[in-house]
Amino acid sequence: MNIHHPDKTRAKARQTVTSTPAAVTTGAIAGSIKIYSSPAGRPDIHVPFREIALDPSSGEAPFRVYDTSGPFTDPDAVVDLNRGLAQPRAPWLAARGLEAIAPRAVKPEDNGNIAPDKLVAPCPAERVVLSGQAGRPVTQLDYARAGIVTEEMVYIAHRENCGRAAMLAGAEERRADGEDFGAAIPAFITPDFVREEVARGRAVIPANVNHPELEPTIIGRNFLVKINANIGNSAVTSSAADEVEKLVWAIRWGADTVMDLSTGRNIHNIRSWIMRNAPVPIGTVPIYQALEKVDGDPAKLDWEVFKDTLIEQAEQGVDYFTIHAGVRLAYVPLTARRVTGIVSRGGSIMARWCLSHHRESFLYERFDEICDIMHRYDVTFSLGDGLRPGSIADANDAAQFAELDTLGELTKVAWDKGCQVMIEGPGHVPMHKIKANMDKQLATCGEAPFYTLGPLTTDIAPGYDHITSAIGAAMIGWFGTAMLCYVTPKEHLGLPNRDDVKTGVITYKIAAHAADLAKGHPAAKLRDDALSRARFAFRWQDQFNLGLDPDTARAFHDETLPKEAHKVAHFCSMCGPKFCSMKITQDLRAEALAMEPSGDDGGRLAGLAEKAREFNEKGASLYLPAE
Amino acid sequence: MNIHHPDKTRAKARQTVTSTPAAVTTGAIAGSIKIYSSPAGRPDIHVPFREIALDPSSGEAPFRVYDTSGPFTDPDAVVDLNRGLAQPRAPWLAARGLEAIAPRAVKPEDNGNIAPDKLVAPCPAERVVLSGQAGRPVTQLDYARAGIVTEEMVYIAHRENCGRAAMLAGAEERRADGEDFGAAIPAFITPDFVREEVARGRAVIPANVNHPELEPTIIGRNFLVKINANIGNSAVTSSAADEVEKLVWAIRWGADTVMDLSTGRNIHNIRSWIMRNAPVPIGTVPIYQALEKVDGDPAKLDWEVFKDTLIEQAEQGVDYFTIHAGVRLAYVPLTARRVTGIVSRGGSIMARWCLSHHRESFLYERFDEICDIMHRYDVTFSLGDGLRPGSIADANDAAQFAELDTLGELTKVAWDKGCQVMIEGPGHVPMHKIKANMDKQLATCGEAPFYTLGPLTTDIAPGYDHITSAIGAAMIGWFGTAMLCYVTPKEHLGLPNRDDVKTGVITYKIAAHAADLAKGHPAAKLRDDALSRARFAFRWQDQFNLGLDPDTARAFHDETLPKEAHKVAHFCSMCGPKFCSMKITQDLRAEALAMEPSGDDGGRLAGLAEKAREFNEKGASLYLPAE
């Protein structure tokens, strides 16, 4: 089914007022409309895409792009944060023999024992809490290994194939292009290929059985490179309203997953608003909330409070947990002589605990019990790199790689327990040390998806770390990293605001796409080509709309040439009319192509190409008389 | 000589009002002071640096950085744009047997035949016009080949050694680090090494004999990676005042050279203001002004008007010319089927000329006459890549590489004529095709310095091309590119304003520094380490001031925590006090280092490191009881 709304094509983002907790940004992204498409034979599955209508003069069909923005950009969708989003997965989950259980009772400490008058009301949206039953398949990994293709896999195959059909025409050229460093990216994605990748542990589908609102996505090196945006309040600033809007805002610009790193009060209730209104996988770091429950004293943490927090968040529907089980007692002293010590919050908390009790981490000792809990709800592991380097000086050191070895060991334990696993990576790493990280992770963790923060390629630009890290992110994404965790301009300086979130997301979409291009992803180049054709033809509106941020591109152009007439002008303020190289070559091209009376210029062009080669073979000596 | 102004350390940028054409930004960069240092045995040579004073608690000496900002950031320097800058090179040039010549008379067409009432007055600063004499050495290349070390070479050696002395202590560690892809970066730079690199053509010192105000710099793969900022008005917008301020603003943030790409009226007189107030090498593309002289019709161009323009600009003191002599008639049709044709202004102008006259480019046919003119004033060649790819689709194609072969041929001609040469490079190139550009350029052009625009690694982010290109710039800089031409957020959309220029410069300083780190430049890491130590110690002011943009870093921090007290707080708004990993590990470190009663923790650490290795060798099986 394809629902088109041509009239809404130029719709501007607008504010929808809802009761609580906040109004969120809705409305189509400039120049595009939301469509839904179903895989062959599955009219019941509706995969969202955006379509960008191009100027009739282009003679090109609307350009379809992967869309993470959820119902918020569908003008026909009713957005009511109190009721939560529609539940595409509900019928799929209903058929899987999951058990409806009595939910864990919410405790005062879940919201930081906040005074009743300061308590944020939970999201009123009602959901039955589900849990897997002993001896029956629960996780996407269980089903994949059993040879069963889930609806999530069918959905994902159709979603990842965006553009591939169109590309298959020029497939030979495509195959000749790109360096994939041992990845195995197929020309076309079948549901069974998705299943196979999940079964091998080479890809994950973060999809908690208690997250029916999810639009499934996959994270693995043989699929499109994904990006994550972090949101979350801190004790110092931010609120529930801000966080829900940050979620909606981050996915509007392309975040594939969102991590809620909240550490303040009302964590439980804010999370309920986020989960019920999240069409993307949501990740958390449970140790943060556990620490809040023990008044912020790491030494007071224990297995019981942590276990209780895992269950609390799993029942809410969190899709993946960062677990810092690789921070072992023996590794902590390896960080003592570092320039920046331990820069992971979770890592420093667990290191503190280990030294305070002079014993091994309870996350490490209880790892198989953690697996059992996460398996029950199909919460995916994101094994945290608690000892990642926080500076160029500490990159690739003994502490970092000792932990990575342990993460490889834990990956196999989790796999044995039927859990999906991805591995978190650095951090701050100079360019020449990046590939070693990817190679060691692939070897140590059996190709489990790598999920890196940047890496930042220098420490000297606070205020610009989205850029210092985009360089490293693009490179490590090319080398094989499956998901890139964004870094905003505020990194190291403060909590990102709305603009910082957008800048971080767009910057990381650039890094991920540059990586897809370099890996030789079959369809990645289509968007570059469409935009470049628009640029050369002076289809300004098409150039803006095909870009990652149409609003900013249009605003920059209009700063110097605001008139609508300039949207079709054959120049811009950069060079002006006389010096527009593309204007000049448009005429040139016409001439070159018209050189032959027949109008068929093939022979002539070949002839000149041949002549060019001759020139060079002859050493192209100077003063060769021109014919 | 070292002039310190501790009282000015926190001086804010302020406006100095001067008569014409404009007030420019002067005053110290936040947190740093200007100092001058002389090479051993040459008290007459004063090399500028910036020194950043660190908090006494650090126990660290002021941190010295390379400084491109000229007298404008020296509170003791008198800035009078009408008189122009001081002339450090005047005594050096006076001793070289150059001839004082009668300057070419300024013609109305030099300023676009503008009406007298609209004519911008030329800069009144008086300079004698110099020219080399036949049979005597003129260029830095002539002197280098003759075994003569010029003052410029002594100056540059001292300038490039910034930080190296300090680094030599830890030299072994340094040598073990970095991948230089065949570069030959010495631990310490001697004046004779500079001479040798120039003699081999592997580095250039753009230094017109008519630019006495220049603070010499070097461009070559065995030196610090440099960056260029483009300024210049267009027919559509901008003015003389804007351009001089853009120059001062660009070098304030770190531009090593500046290209004046003006194409409007008053070009000659605007350039006089730029040249007399430029402490950095200035580059131009003479074909732009030549085109203005023939009313913007490429077909009307001829050798005489071009030759006259070369002499006009050489006498004004322009340090390097972009010459598109590689755009040959036979190559033009190779671009006819490109997605974006020819995107170089100069390239499209010459292609237009070649097809209009159906003959070989006069730049190519007259190349040795061009060499003779440029040699007379020591204007360095920047051989333009007129056929560079303007889109991912056109990267590394036949047209681009055919031209590069010709540039290699012309390099040898210019070298035979005693001229310095660098080679311009792309453009738009996906990551996996970048290294081929560097390798082919090194092989084809005999290691002449490569000077690239980006490259942009994707076409899909108009409004963010400083980022799409910073990724490619950092990589190609690592591979061996000597200078990176910046790209601003306005690329493809409009003329950059003041903020765009700053963003472009800072972004490219990041790319250049990331490249220096990855190449294993001896002292590059010192700044990262100093900043990271400040970060870990919560010396916020030091962290801001050691960064590339102290003002922005401070402003971002203060957005959420404005109080002065927070400048010493052991947390920021990103994580808040309880969750500050660095706060937690500072205590940890103290503990780890105090584990041994002796306080000497070396053995203990080694022991634990050993234990960590054991764990892993034993397969680190689960449930290993902690001691």
pLDDT surpasses 50 at B14: no
d(CA A105, CA B483): 63
Closest Cα in chain B, distance from residue A142 (Å): 23
Q: Which residue has the higher pLDDT, A238 or B345?
A: B345
Residues A464 and A595 in one domain: no
Q: Which of A340, A559, A620 sits opposite B536 (nearest CB)?
A: A340
What local confidence, expressed as pLDDT, does residue B243 receive? 84
Q: Which residue has the higher pLDDT, A173 or A581?
A: A581
- Give all strands (DSSP E) within B344-414, no chain letters: 380-383
The string of pLDDT tens digits covering residues B511-547 is: 999 999 999 998 999 999 999 999 999 999 999 999 9
Closest Cα in chain A, distance from residue B178 (Å): 6
Q: Which of B368, B458, B474 sits opposite A431 (nearest CB)?
A: B474
DSSP state for residue A456 in the 8-state scheme: B
Tokens of B420: 């310095």
How many other β-carbons are positioned within 10 Å of the β-carbon of residue B77?
14
Identify any residues that bridge with A260 across adjacent strands, giving them in sequence order: A231, A284
* Domain hosting residue A148, numbered range: 100-525
Determine the residue among B267, B579, B586, B587 to mutate to test chain A binding: the one whose Cβ has the most chain A Cβ atoms within 10 Å: B579
Residue in B closest to A500 by C-alpha? B556
Is residue A579 within 8 Å of residue B263, measured between CB atoms?
A: yes
The string of pLDDT tens digits covering residues A548-606 is: 999 999 999 998 888 887 777 777 676 666 777 777 777 777 776 654 334 344 444 44
pLDDT surpasses 60 at A299: yes
What local confidence, expressed as pLDDT, does residue B425 receive? 98
> How does residue B262 score in pLDDT terms, banded at 50, 70 and 90?
confident
Residue A517 lies in a domain: yes
3-state secondary structure of B211: coil
SS3 sequence of A162-225: CCHHHHHCCHHHHHCCCCCCCCCCCCCCCHHHHHHHHHCCCEECCCCCCCCCCCCCCEECCCCC
Residue B553 lies in a domain: no
Q: Which of B341, B470, B518 sits opposite A431 (nearest CB)?
A: B518
Which of A195, A197, A254, A160 shows the shortest CA–CA distance to A521? A160
Which of A422, A427, A458, A418 shows the shortest CA–CA distance to A442? A422
Mean pLDDT score, A4-27: 47
What local confidence, expressed as pLDDT, does residue B164 receive? 86
The string of pLDDT tens digits covering residues A483-509 is: 999 999 999 998 888 899 999 999 999
With b meaning 16 or more CB within 10 Å and e meaning fewer, what string describes A205-217?
A: bbbbbbbbbbbbb
| Range of weakest confidence among A69-78, A160-169, A404-413 | A160-169
Give the H/E segment covering residue A7.
none
Residues B376 and B489 in one domain: yes
What local confidence, expressed as pLDDT, does residue A499 receive? 93
Alpha-helical (H) ranges within A452-539 are: 465-479, 498-519, 524-536
> How does residue B571 score in pLDDT terms, banded at 50, 70 and 90?
confident
Residue B529: phi and psi, rounded to 5, are -65, -40
Q: How far is CA B277 from the centre of its chain?
A: 18
Do residue B525 and residue A470 have CB atoms under 8 angstroms apart?
no
Domain count, chain B: 2
pLDDT surpasses 60 at B482: yes
Q: How far is CA A1 from the centre of its chain?
A: 26
Share of chain B above pLDDT 90, in %: 77
Question: A498-519 vs A465-479: helix axis angle to the nearest 10?
Answer: 30
The string of pLDDT tens digits covering residues B339-395 is: 999 999 999 999 999 999 999 999 999 999 999 999 999 999 999 999 999 999 999
What local confidence, expressed as pLDDT, does residue B603 receive? 46
Residue B347 lies in a domain: yes
Residues B500 and B609 in one domain: no
Q: ipTM of this model?
A: 0.92
Tokens of B58: 């650090």
Q: How far is CA A105 from the centre of its chain?
A: 33
The string of pLDDT tens digits covering residues B219-237 is: 999 999 999 999 987 654 4
Do residue A574 and residue B336 have CB atoms under 8 angstroms apart?
no
Mean pLDDT score, B43-62: 97
Determine the residue among B233, B324, B585 to mutate to test chain A binding: the one whose Cβ has the most chain A Cβ atoms within 10 Å: B585
> How does residue B585 score in pLDDT terms, banded at 50, 70 and 90?
confident
Mean pLDDT score, B115-142: 93
Residues B446 and B379 in one domain: yes
Domain boundary pick from B501, B525, B549: B525
Residues A320 and A185 in one domain: yes
DSSP state for residue A462 in the 8-state scheme: T
Sign of the four-CA dihedral B210, B216, B221, B224: negative
By CB atoms closer than 10 A (0-12, 13-18, 19+), residue A334 is buried
Closest Cα in chain A, distance from residue B274 (Å): 20
What local confidence, expressed as pLDDT, does residue A235 receive? 53
Mean pLDDT score, B89-94: 98
What local confidence, expressed as pLDDT, does residue B235 receive? 53
Which of B98, B71, B68, B73 shows the shortest CA–CA distance to B84? B71
Residues B449 and B588 in one domain: no
A257-260 and A63-66: which strand pairing?
A: unpaired
CATH code for the domain in which residue A183 is found:
3.20.20.540
SS3 sequence of A257-308: EEEECCCCCCHHHHHHHHHHCCCCCEEECHHHHHHHHCCCCHHHCCHHHHHH
Alpha-helical (H) ranges within B21-89 are: none
Residue A242: phi and psi, rounded to 5, are -60, -40
> How does residue B569 score in pLDDT terms, banded at 50, 70 and 90?
confident
Residues B303 and B441 in one domain: yes
Residues A509 and A586 in one domain: no
Mean pLDDT score, A525-533: 96
List C-alpha distances in Å: A594 to A590, B343, B399. Answer: 6, 21, 19
Mean pLDDT score, B93-115: 95
Determine the residue among A359, A527, A532 to mutate to test chain B binding: the one whose Cβ has the most chain B Cβ atoms within 10 Å: A532
How many other β-carbons are positioned within 10 Å of the β-carbon of residue A32?
26
Chain B residues whose CB is inside 8 A of the A476 CB are none
Alpha-helical (H) ranges within B385-536 are: 398-416, 434-444, 465-479, 498-519, 524-536
d(CA B69, CA B166): 23
Task: Give the contacts of B625 (CB within 8 A, at least 6 positions apart).
Answer: A360
pLDDT surpasses 70 at B397: yes
Average pLDDT over all residues of chain B = 89
Do residue A336 and residue B589 have CB atoms under 8 angstroms apart?
yes
Residue B27 lies in a domain: no
**Is B375 annotated as belonging to a binding site?**
no
What local confidence, expressed as pLDDT, does residue B174 receive? 53
Closest Cα in chain A, distance from residue B461 (Å): 5
pTM for the model: 0.92
Alpha carbon distance, N-terminus to C-terminus of chain B: 60
What local confidence, expressed as pLDDT, does residue A169 receive? 67
Do residue A585 and residue B556 have CB atoms under 8 angstroms apart?
no
Q: Which of B332, B360, B572 sits opposite A494 (nearest CB)?
A: B572
Residues A104 and A187 in one domain: yes
Do residue A535 and residue B340 have CB atoms under 8 angstroms apart?
yes
> How does residue B580 score in pLDDT terms, banded at 50, 70 and 90?
confident
List C-alpha distances in Å: A546 to A45, A371, A537, B100, B575. Answer: 27, 43, 14, 57, 36
Residues B583 and B511 in one domain: no
Residue A592 lies in a domain: yes
Residue B172 lies in a domain: yes
Residue A306: phi and psi, rounded to 5, are -70, -45
Mean pLDDT score, A222-227: 98
Which of A233, A306, A309 shows the shortest CA–CA distance to A274? A233
Do residue A462 and residue B398 have CB atoms under 8 angstroms apart?
no
What local confidence, expressed as pLDDT, does residue B47 receive? 98
Closest Cα in chain A, distance from residue B102 (Å): 33
Residues B400 and B257 in one domain: yes
Tokens of A196: 């196979």
Chain A residues whose CB is inside 8 A of the B432 CB are 177-179, 478, 517-520
Residue with tokens 């259980």: A101
DSSP state for residue A51 in the 8-state scheme: E
Residue B406 lies in a domain: yes
Edge-to-edge strands of the sheet including A47-52? A32-37, A47-52, A63-66
> How does residue A459 score in pLDDT terms, banded at 50, 70 and 90?
very high
Question: B498-519 vs A465-479: helix axis angle to the nearest 10?
Answer: 50
pLDDT surpasses 60 at B417: yes
Q: Which of A368, A458, A573 sits opposite B236 (nearest CB)?
A: A573
Domain boundary pick from B465, B495, B525: B525
Residue A12 lies in a domain: no
What local confidence, expressed as pLDDT, does residue A242 receive? 80
Residues B491 and B620 in one domain: no
